[in-house]
Structure 1
């Protein structure tokens, strides 16, 4: 990725710890000097990273980058690691898009920094760089998180610290993987955002609603309203006791959303006058339940006033 079209952002301390402060700084700041240890190698010495979380490389973006590379060259070195047991072979850790653009620009040599990294570190760096630059779609980001958790025993808490985002962001992103293939495909194609897709999680008509949201160009809030309306019970043929619930006021809905955003889980608040009310938190995994318990126990207990 040539520096001319990069959005400047300082990468997290997790990346600096893995590949060195100077290298991390150069990856995140277009004004940074080239880090130490940069050398030129033939472009054919490099190969793609099997841990690369990014799978979508839009041709028009690569063409723009290739044009920039032809004019200015690659200003940010590609981070690579040696391929075990092979001479003159390096696996790309960060910078696959730059490498692809250099191929399109027919460069023969590319600047690299060689680092000795484990598989877990290679995946960490690839995810951090892409997430910090917003290069991943939400499904790719979620798949990268899941791979770190399944293959390298990461927790959501550790992930949130690693990438510099809230734990609720990690939890909400991971929930997108439970969506049907068709809905995930729309996210990967850039037709549906994570915010538009989130209300569809667990909905039996998720794919139908997803197509409607895209066709009508609904916002995330409108998508949420659409699914909520579909979930409202039909009153035809119901017993007298199954009265429709009073519509919640704006303050209650805002409070539900605030708590839901903090936890990354569905939250419902109901109130029944003098009898008080209920707060319901829906969870799907034991890890989510553990996190709820941890948060509830995280503050000193206070005596209830009777």
Structure 2
């Protein structure tokens, strides 16, 4: 029943229906065996001590990677002082499903505990997802992609709006909207953000480009070169500007009617192509000729017409 806690292999960021892959993330806040309770666990519930093998993780846990070094440190603390903070669980057919405290459960297994203290709470699937997300947000344990998928699951499974999710997790609606925008990134960019190869600032620069093609181009550039956020933003503006120019080319103003008439008359008179046009504020007459002999012919025509 124990979940593997060693460094996870590289994985591809899944579709919104799938669980986010395991990947390296920022160091979370330190947790000790006697850490203070989060608000997700602070309310009084039925307290009990149960066999550790009856406790199992929540498959919808927003956080999917746990730092092995931190787990080892927490396990040493638990070996010394015991598990001082209970694990929040709900009863199910298999025993007890973790709502909050999976890291403590994993560390307790490493410490060799046979039983663990738990707080038993009645909660439906939506409430479990909500509490698990809130706990991880309070501990800053989620990377941006995990956080975005957590919000998306709350919206889809609970049929909630962005505002309702924001209220549930005590965040501003704009925070939820900005997080969800990260799921519009190309899959490669999502994976890079998940693995902390780029930052949220780089991600915003990618999203500033309207087209998928342009976003993919900047993502590829970021994968090959270590660009700063400012450099990524400058490149994003350049790509977006080129796309705008390509999609909305500057239309040349129509030639004045007399220009067209003069060009036609001169072409007929000289028996060659003649253009009358305005370039950078200067008006020009352009007469084509095939070779030197043709040039002499045109010269004679113009000379005689001037006499």
TM-score normalised to the size of structure 2?
0.62
Alignment match of 1:128 (pick from 125, 129, 134): 134
Question: Which one has a bigger Cα radius of gyration?
Answer: 2
Deviations 1:105-145 (A, max 9, x none): 22212111000100000000011111121111111111111
Alignment match of 2:88 (pick from 79, 85, 106): 79
Q: CA deviation at 1:205?
A: 4.1
Report whether the alignment pairs 1:59 with 2:87.
Answer: no
Query: Is contact 1:53-1:143 (8 Å) kept?
Result: yes
Query: Is contact 1:3-1:75 (8 Å) kept?
Result: no
Tell me the distance in 1 between the aligned counterparts of 2:168 and 2:161.
Answer: 11
Deviations 1:76-107 (A, max 9, x none): 211000004x5xx0000001111111112222
Q: How many pairs are equivalent?
A: 219
Alignment match of 1:4 (pick from 15, 32, 42): 32
- Mark the runs of 5 or more structure 1 residues left unpaired by the alignment: 16-22, 26-34, 243-306
Tell me the distance in 2 between the aligned counterparts of 1:159 and 1:37.
Answer: 27
CA RMSD of aligned residues (A): 3.0
Query: Is contact 2:49-2:115 (8 Å) kept?
Result: yes
Q: CA deviation at 1:56?
A: 2.0
Query: Is contact 2:202-2:233 (8 Å) kept?
Result: yes
Tell me the distance in 1 between the aligned counterparts of 2:186 and 2:34.
Answer: 33
Tell me the distance in 2 between the aligned counterparts of 1:146 and 1:239.
Answer: 39
Alignment partner, residue 42 of structure 2: 24
Query: Is contact 2:34-2:85 (8 Å) kept?
Result: no
Query: Is contact 1:53-1:144 (8 Å) kept?
Result: yes
TM-score normalised to the size of structure 1?
0.62
Query: Is contact 1:47-1:90 (8 Å) kept?
Result: yes
Q: Secondary structure at the match of 2:49?
A: strand
Alignment partner, residue 269 of structure 2: none
Query: Is contact 1:2-1:68 (8 Å) kept?
Result: no
Alignment partner, residue 43 of structure 1: 52
Tell me the distance in 1 between the aligned counterparts of 2:220 and 2:33.
Answer: 33
Query: Is contact 2:33-2:82 (8 Å) kept?
Result: no
Tell me the distance in 1 between the aligned counterparts of 2:160 and 2:249.
Answer: 50
Tell me the distance in 1 between the aligned counterparts of 2:37 and 2:138.
Answer: 7
Q: Secondary structure at the match of 1:232?
A: helix
Tell me the distance in 1 between the aligned counterparts of 2:83 and 2:140.
Answer: 20
Query: Is contact 1:53-1:141 (8 Å) kept?
Result: yes
Tell me the distance in 1 between the aligned counterparts of 2:81 and 2:183.
Answer: 39
Query: Is contact 1:2-1:73 (8 Å) kept?
Result: no
Q: CA deviation at 1:217?
A: 4.2
